[in-house]
Amino acid sequence: MDLQAFRRLFKSTPPPAGLSLALEALWYDARGKWNKAHELVQAQDDGIGAWVHAYLHRKEGDMSNAAYWYRRAGEPVAQAPLVTEWKEMVERLLH
């Protein structure tokens, strides 16, 4: 699956089966469901989960919490626009 195919999944309700928790969280985030995205990503206790968690807190505007999660993920604190970071995460997770 590529980014375009993932975006086409936004028409699905609920999200399609088989997505990782991180991808499912990003699916919900793209649909404006921040709380559901956050709930899902809290259950993925690894570097990818921490990275998506960081992104969600950055989106929320909680930069100190986001910085903590970027450190846990081993990722630099993102400086790119949120939409760019979202796209980069999805592309990395799909490959």
CB 10 within 8 A of CB 86: no
In degrees, rounded to 5, the angle at the alpha carbon of residue 36 between the alpha carbons of residues 31 and 37 is: 70
Predicted confidence at residue 15, as pLDDT, reads 83
Q: How is residue 2 written in tokens?
A: 């590529």
| DSSP notation for 13-63 | SSPPTT--HHHHHHHHHHTT-HHHHHHHHHT--SHHHHHHHHHHHHHHT-H
Supply the CATH number for residue 18's domain: 1.25.40
Model pTM greater than 0.85?
Answer: yes
Domain that holds residue 37: 3-94
pLDDT mean for each 10 residues of the chain (95 residues) = 74 80 94 95 95 97 97 96 95 88
Domain count, the chain: 1
